[in-house]
Amino acid sequence: MTRRVLIVLQIAVALTIFLQFLPGAASEQEDSALGKIVRLDPRFDRLVPRGATLEKVAGGFAWVEGPAWNRKGGYLLFSDIPNNAVFKWQDGAGISLFLKPSGYTGAAPFQGREPGSNGLTFDPAGRLVLCEHGDRRISRVEEDGSKATLVDRYEGKRLNSPNDLVFASNGDLYFTDPPFGLPKAFDDPQKELDFSGVYRLSRSGTLTVLTKEIRAPNGIALSPNEKTLYVSNADPNRAVWLAFDLKGDGTVSSSRVFFDATAWTKTKKGVPDGMKVDKDGNLFAAGPGGIHIFTPDGSHIGSFERGGLTSNAAWGDDGSTLYVTADKAVYRIRLNTKGAGF
């Protein structure tokens, strides 16, 4: 080997090492415990520390969804939809059954694959609120453990199968209602509505449909200033996240495609699903291949790529830990940002 070739090789190695530690290096990938952390933009580095990993905290379920953090008790709840149950995870204590049945209370065996609850959240008073597939309603768990129905019909017709939900600071509830919980989904004969709606249930109990134009509305989230409503469309033919401008009365005006991931569905597992927003308005969205991070202007700045199906996320602990539900397990990753409201 000539001296000139050796010098060139030494320069190449040095340059490679330098690029590995350059913040925001294009398409940089870091091996994590489960999958890859992909850094596409320097803004990602301010959110996700070097060396961050996705840590598995619980597994062995059928299909997990709807994580929600209970701040008062310091624990995570999440749905195992096929098993019609809500489970509780607490650091140091592990897993325990929290609620069963969680979404279907009928006497006859459920004919579909997803009878249980899906999205979970807590209302301003700290009570658990559930999207119930089998019973086709949104319910609230009362102090005595009983359930109260918050909404189950629109203009006298049964809802499809409420999927995900988010509360505004004034107590208004926004939720999506695709037919995924029905045994035959879009073709189910029990389907009473001819659309999949995005709704607002006001704190006074008035139900308003905000849009009927999304075929498969799924995940839903509010920007920190509550001026933008995000909704994912779980349709592989139009796999998009949409942003709706909210008016002062809580209804929507214009909408736009926030990010189009249709091309991703050709090579990655999954569709746009649940999402959460951090204190600065960055969106952490479950979608094809993992969790994808977007700035408020819709720029994709990085991802936690697992490769498998990923359903949803929730902020927990002091607000800087993101819990992720994916297929049969729950994961967490510690970040440099905090969830909106923490």
Residue 13: per-residue pLDDT: 37
Residue 71: exposure state from Cβ atoms within 10 A (0-12, 13-18, ≥19) = middle
Q: Is the dihedral of CA 123, 129, 131, 135 positive or negative?
A: negative
Question: What is the rounded average pLDDT of the residues 313-329?
Answer: 98
pTM for the whole structure: 0.91
3-class secondary-structure state, position 137: strand
pLDDT score, position 31: 63
pLDDT single digits (tens) 52-69: 999 999 999 999 999 999
Does any domain span residue 133? yes
Does 232 map to a domain?
yes
Is residue 18 a part of any domain in this protein?
no
| Count of structural domains, the chain | 1
For 282-291, what is the mean pLDDT?
A: 98
| Domain residue limits at 51 | 29-334
Confirm whether 7 is domain-assigned. Answer: no
Establish if 23 belongs to a structural domain: no
Residue 9 has pLDDT above 80, yes or no: no
Residue 153, domain member (yes or no): yes
The per-residue DSSP string of 177-194 comes to: E-STTSTTGGG-TT---S
CATH number at residue 206: 2.120.10.30
pLDDT of residue 28: 56
42 found inside a domain: yes
Mean pLDDT of 177-186: 97
Biggest CA–CA distance in the chain, Å, is 84
Within-domain flag for 4: no
Token pair belonging to 58: 């619980």
Query: Average pLDDT of the chain?
Result: 92
Per-residue pLDDT, 306: 86
Residue 10: band (very low, low, confident or very high) from pLDDT cuts 50, 70, 90: very low
